[in-house]
Each structure stands twice: as C-alpha cells, then as structure tokens.
Amino acid sequence: MTKTLFITGASSGIGAATARKASDAGWNVALFARSEDKLKEVAHGCASAMVLPGDATSPADLTEAVERAAHQFGGIDAAFANAGRGLNSSGKGAPDEDDIRGMIDLNILGVLWTVGAVLPELKKTKGTLVMTGSAAGKRHIPGSIYGASKWFVHGYAGNMAEEMREWGGRCTVVAPGMVDTPFFESGKPDKLKPEDVADAVMLAIEADPRASVREVFLMPQSM
C-alpha cells in the first residue's frame, strides 16, 4: 500500500524538494502552505499529490487539511513540520514586536498545531514525525531570537520522540546549516541545497522500523 507524507511549508524550498523526493520514492504527498498557486506548481511535478492551502499558525486549517488528506489517501504515515521563517528586521535597535510575534507564531506555535493535528493519524499508522530544526538551534548565537525558536524545536522533537516510542512512532529533527533558499537573501556562496535536506527527511521516514533516527545534522562541506 502506498504511504502518505503530509508536509507543511510545501510550496517552496525544503518543503517542495521533499515533496518531489518523496513522490519519486513512491509516496503520496499532501502539500500544505498558504500559496495555492505555488502548491499547484509543486504538485504538477509529483505523481500523486494533494494541494491543501492553509495557514500553519491556524489549528483549524491544519486539522481540516489533515482530515482531508487522511480521507483522500486512507491515512497518513509521516508528517514533516517544515513551515518556518526568520526575522525580517535586522535585529539591531529596538525589536519589532509584530515581526517577533509572527516568527514565534510560525516557528513554535505552528509546530505545536501541526503536531496536534497530525498525531492522531500517525498513531493509527505508527508513523514518523519530522521537524525542521537548524544549526542555529544547536549553538548559541549572540542575541538570536530565531536561534532560540529553533532550540525549542530541537527540545520538543526530543520530547515527542520519547512520547511516540510508547506506541511505536518515531520523531526526527533535521538540523541544516545555511540552505540555498529564499530564506537566506544573502550570505556565503557555499550552501546546502534543499535536496540535501530532503534526503535527510527521506532517511528518517524510510528507516527500518527497528531504527529511530532522532536527529540529522547537516552542514555545507565547503566553508
């Protein structure tokens, strides 16, 4: 029976690359993000895809999307809580309250709402949950609020791994360094590609059931 992967932040970058990798590996993909047009473009390159426009900071949107995907494909075997963002402001001077709230809502609450929506389906399949962490969530960066939000993701992923193992499920955090996506407008020329992170997600969700891949830490080889 074909397995199904639910992906948030699926319209571009890491999420879109993961959708294509999973599709090539024979998975159904349920694509969730705000931009329906971009999701349709990603779905066009996948063999079996479902477009689910919605906001990852909305529990209602996520619950409806998960229910639709489970009904369409007969269940959900893995979920990738990938939606996230950085701060738009430079971080210098007085913090922008709306900017900070927007990032926290997506990077932290969005992960919590995704897990809350998808966990009942994963329990049915003894499935795998993957979260997008960051190299910034593994080291201390002076004053980085974004980094702190990813420390939360790493801690929560470990907590969920312990909870999910009680019923046969698994949880993985994938922690990439700088990735060549619109997320980084500038920076070093040597970056990871979204496909590198997608490979790590596939490693986690296709690992033998006897093995739980708790974390994958990726860094560019050339610095």
**Which positions are annotated as active-site residues?**
146
Hey, what amino acid is at 75?
Answer: G
Q: Which of 189, 53, 78, 52 is nearest to 131 (CA)?
A: 78
SS3 177: coil
**53 strand-pairing partners:** 33
| Residues recorded for the chain | 223
Please name the residue that has the structure tokens 């939360």: 152
What is the rounded CA–CA span in Å between residue 223 and residue 221? 6
Sheet (strand 215-218) strand order: 49-53, 28-33, 4-8, 78-81, 128-132, 170-176, 215-218
